[in-house]
Structure 1
């Protein structure tokens, strides 16, 4: 069959020809994975309920920033390596299935394992025994084995693996090609097949048991979150003493290797770090004191900044401008961004709150940077986008916890 013949067939008809299916393949975890495998010549069934994201990919557009993905998407579409489906019955009945659904956290900070099981139950009528099922997103410890037991109770025989995603938002394409992949499985066959699969896109495989792999993902993110909390706590202590923490930090790190990994202070946010710390805390019966303290410090930093501003200024007579609404620099992802916590709290104190971001496109309330600067009495650097380094803040006072700005009227 020629490529032209394939192009003429519908995606639903072609689903059975896919080498690999990625459920949630049009999301933040899925797209780097899909394009990395397609770039190695695999035909990938992109199965996703988000019709807007699917439509964007089919049209050759990325629904969010993923550096290095444009060329791979264009090539995959040109070579007809992507099949787009959006219903469980379009899952390919042969070849591996990667599921990018993880365990979210409820309002009581407890993991919701049933979300994964419900997703799998919707797929079961359309998959074949003997297929490899790879769980990819963060899982509460014990979930992989629980999934295996759940399938056995339903008299289904799938090879269950857990291969945690560990990429940095926006740079998944690059990191998948150069970073080791952790592989685990509930049987030797599952481990072997998952290893063979991820060797296609990864330079190295590290094997663990399922619960070890689950902890590896959670421990990694919680450790980063605790690191940010430590430097944020140092920042608050230095601020209370009336000294410049950025100067202290620079001196600590200067030609001193034991301090080189201390991060700069800032607003630690995003969809993973706090959530994964919560999951560890829940597993430890809320006795994960380091994690609990980290959550209080990192989530509390915006409140400390606002309290300090209220002591200095009459915010009720002022317009506050928030610079950057994405949860980290140089991306457009606003999930769990602390910028919106700033906005919500400040709306109760300031005369007006204005927001801007050079990357975010989904927030209709965002304004151009120059308008926010001109109309604001005071500015808060929420996200350290590089473009803000060269911005003209018209002499307005700027709160810069990040230490990004050098020539602005920074409030210490």
Structure 2
């Protein structure tokens, strides 16, 4: 597929992370010549050795088959000059006031632009503030008007990337027809089908999807809180709502709505709508308030100040080693204030302060399930040990009596 003017097909910038690396491996597995440019030297060395720097089922086996063959990894930004397509996985972050910070992306592209060449197509991949694709096009065009800009949002779930990259439709948009055609050819090598939109339509499609999930989780968490405040088990009601009743099949279970995307993107959409997104603000207050709700309810039943609390699971989701924006850390802070002592454990995150799960279960007077890792299902927890189990991992209800 390589263009005669470029020695490789695609360079994934920031390609050693959760979004970029599965994509680079998938492209390379289809025979494309792929470069990864990343400033994280440790991650680059890990990937170069054929190992994944994070958990992603199916990725490491595929990586070993392509690294050093169709996949090259390095820390030199000049790698971007070699590729017909430059996929950028840098998204728009939010600041401490929950406002998008485009200046971070501007600084990034100011460093990348000297390495871009005429005829290349730059493809934004991460969620961005609506209108960002056009801004990036203008920024690049001021220096090199013959570089084309596209937006093809990542749509996969962490932990299912290798599967979903090749079965989900890929949204493709661009600032000109050349960008659209180039991005379509590239993603046509891996995606099941393509959906063409304008850049703004694509940006909103991506951000709407993440915000919708966040609002769904907030609905379940609000119902959970209402049931608990009535002294009822939410999961008894959830079962009645959803069992053999298709109209309620989309109601999630309660739990921490966390991770690097959902909360951030909800705040981005609010900012894009002049902070008039009351539904998003309400969802944020509910989801971010869940750890406090659990601790408050535990305080009404137990003398937390005299108890050792055990917190099982610190990742942001089950079977993950990703701690980014995990609400388990917020729960830990609250427990450190309210409980006599706090012990933490996780099956995948390496932290010298964490203890083996068996030790936490043995020493704790009360347990909180932060993340429902499968391993925890098999634990032998004493019958008299109270468990705050918002996920209903053990099928005994969320809050101890």
User: Aligned-pair distance for 1:83?
Assistant: 1.1
The aligned runs of 1:267-286 (5 Å cut-off) are: 267-286=256-275
1:40-82 per-residue CA deviation (whole Å, 9 max, x = no partner) reads 011211100111111111111111001111221110026x111
Q: Pick one of 15, 38, 57 that aligns with 1:67.
A: 57
The aligned runs of 1:223-242 (5 Å cut-off) are: 223-242=212-231
- In structure 2, the partner of 1:25 is 15
Tell whether 2:340 aligns with 1:351.
Answer: yes
Q: Could you state the TM-score of these two structures normalised by the residue count of structure 1? A: 0.93
Q: Distance in 1 between matches of 2:10 and 2:42?
A: 22
The aligned runs of 1:12-91 (5 Å cut-off) are: 17-77=7-67, 80-91=69-80
Q: Pick one of 372, 380, 385 that aligns with 2:373.
A: 385
Q: SS state of the match for residue 267, structure 1?
A: coil
Q: SS state of the match for residue 280, structure 1?
A: helix
1:3-46 per-residue CA deviation (whole Å, 9 max, x = no partner) reads xxxxxxxxxxxxx7322100011011111101100110112111
- In structure 2, the partner of 1:152 is 141
Q: Distance in 2 between matches of 1:138 and 1:342?
A: 27
User: Aligned-pair distance for 1:408?
Assistant: 9.1
Q: SS state of the match for residue 61, structure 1?
A: coil
Q: Distance in 1 between matches of 2:223 and 2:209?
A: 22
- In structure 1, the partner of 2:99 is 110
1:133-163 per-residue CA deviation (whole Å, 9 max, x = no partner) reads 0000011000001111122223432110000
Q: Distance in 2 between matches of 1:21 and 1:124?
A: 14
Structure 1 runs of 4+ aligned residues shifted over 4 Å read: 407-410
- In structure 2, the partner of 1:260 is 249
User: Aligned-pair distance for 1:329?
Assistant: 0.5
Contact 2:118 2:144 in 1 (8 A): no
Q: SS state of the match for residue 276, structure 1?
A: helix
User: Aligned-pair distance for 1:87?
Assistant: 2.6
Contact 1:389 1:406 in 2 (8 A): no
1:332-364 per-residue CA deviation (whole Å, 9 max, x = no partner) reads 111000000011121111111111111112x22
Contact 1:184 1:210 in 2 (8 A): yes
- In structure 2, the partner of 1:296 is 285
Q: SS state of the match for residue 348, structure 1?
A: helix
User: Aligned-pair distance for 1:390?
Assistant: 1.6
Q: SS state of the match for residue 82, structure 2?
A: coil
1:298-331 per-residue CA deviation (whole Å, 9 max, x = no partner) reads 0000001111112222211111000100100111
Question: More displaced, 386-395 or 191-200?
Answer: 386-395
Which structure 2 segments of 5+ residues have no match?
A: 1-5
Contact 1:398 1:408 in 2 (8 A): no
Q: Distance in 2 between matches of 1:94 and 1:175?
A: 25
Contact 1:103 1:116 in 2 (8 A): yes
Q: Distance in 2 between matches of 1:347 and 1:208?
A: 48
- In structure 2, the partner of 1:250 is 239
- In structure 1, the partner of 2:185 is 196
Q: Pick one of 191, 199, 205 that aligns with 1:216.
A: 205
Q: Pick one of 339, 354, 357 that aligns with 1:369.
A: 357
Contact 2:11 2:79 in 1 (8 A): no
Tell whether 2:100 aligns with 1:120.
Answer: no
Contact 2:48 2:67 in 1 (8 A): yes
The aligned runs of 1:125-140 (5 Å cut-off) are: 125-140=114-129
Q: Pick one of 150, 156, 177 that aligns with 1:167.
A: 156
Q: Distance in 1 between matches of 2:396 and 2:262?
A: 32
